[in-house]
Chain A
Amino acid sequence: MPDWLNILLRSLGALAYLFILTKIIGKRQIKQLTLIEYIVGITIGSIAAFMATEMDGPIAHSLIAMGVFAIVPVLMEWLTLKSKVLRDFFEGKSTILIKEGKILEDNLKKERLTAEDLLEQLRLKNVFRVADVEFAMMETNGELSVLLKSEKQPVTPQQLELTVSPAEESQVVIMDGVIMDEPLATAGYNRRWVRTQLQKAGVALENVFLGQVDKSGELYLDLYDDKIQVPAPQAMKRTFATLKKCQADLELFALATKSEQAKQTYQRDAEQLQQVIDQVKPFLIR
């Protein structure tokens, strides 16, 4: 067998073997590297390279070595699931870097971080003033978690005492001009409904690049032809406007009428309609 063919086969073999091993180690390998996974990643890579290019040693040796490096972390992970002590030992502990708004210089030194490193990490979290930070922690994977002081945190609807419509996941029901049946069923609609909606918008199915439906039944459409303006779903806004107009009318009638009884009914109805409006507003306007 010529050398080049040997190397070709070895390379392909190493690649396939490596792929299988990474499958075993699991997808955690890709994103969150723990200490041991970091070591394993590097080592397996170099053994695979060695296996591919060095034609002296038998392939089995490389395979065994790679196998060990792949299996041991899986075993260790299993062990760390069982024991907190082992977990701390293998995966390391996270380190508090800022506590109660003060930088802990000793811990910074322990992680061998300079002030610049800390500032850089904070900036990556969109924090530009150390004074805004209540608490910051260096996680085991080297990422910094930051808790802002409560007055520096973004406002939530709850703090403003706002009622908001419930968060809704949406389903992609049209992709590349094709109706996706499964997500459509999940959303609780059928093909006929989609066709009706498209007709309403005056758009051909082939022209739709992406169609997304939310739980309130509004269909967002993005077309291939960006020059065509898709009318945004207006039904809810229109209903809201109608309700508001009727409420104003009722108040007007209450003022205009000479009958005392009718005036009272109008006023009561106007108030009740105002309540309805306040109630539906977060759902209709968003």
Chain B
Amino acid sequence: MMTVGAQVKQALASLKGAQADLESFALSTQNKQAKQMYTEAAQQTQAIVNNLQQRVTELENEEPQYKGF
């Protein structure tokens, strides 16, 4: 059974990966419209990643026994 903290951490890791994918798509596409769209999506996703990161820190402070998961 995963704790909430571990679940949030896992989601954070996946989202970081997806965010990096979006950035790499933005770099690799030659189409301007697609490039702009990917860049925006990557930025928006980055904001969510930051929020999740913050939440993970909060959870770690609340449940110190899970720190480092």
Contacts and interface: CB of A to CB of B under 8 A. Distances in A.
Interface of A: 165-166, 168, 187-188, 215-217, 235-236, 238-239, 242-243, 245-246, 249-250, 253, 256-257, 262, 265-266, 269, 272-273, 275-276, 279-280, 283
Contacts of A276: 41, 44-45
B47 interface: yes
A276 B43 CA distance: 10
Nearest to A273: B48
A217 B29 contact: yes
Contacts of B38: 280, 283
Nearest to B54: A265
Interface string B44-63: 11011001100100100000
Interface of B: 4, 7-8, 11, 14-15, 17-18, 21-22, 25, 28-31, 33-34, 37-38, 40-41, 44-45, 47-48, 51-52, 55, 58
B1 to A, nearest CB: 13
B19 to A, nearest CB: 9
Nearest to B45: A276
17 contacts: A166-B33, A217-B29, A217-B30, A236-B25, A239-B18, A242-B14, A242-B18, A249-B7, A249-B14, A250-B11, A256-B4, A273-B48, A279-B41, A280-B22, A280-B37, A283-B34, A283-B37
Nearest to A187: B30
Given A215-B29, A216-B30, A279-B37, 18 more contacts: A165-B34, A168-B31, A188-B30, A215-B31, A217-B29, A239-B22, A242-B15, A242-B17, A242-B21, A243-B45, A245-B14, A246-B18, A256-B4, A269-B51, A272-B44, A280-B38, A283-B25, A283-B38
Nearest to A213: B30
A220 to B, nearest CB: 15
Contacts of B18: 239, 242-243, 246
A280 B36 CA distance: 11
Contact of B44 (A165, A256, A257, A275): A275
B51 A253 contact: no
Contacts of B4: 253, 256-257
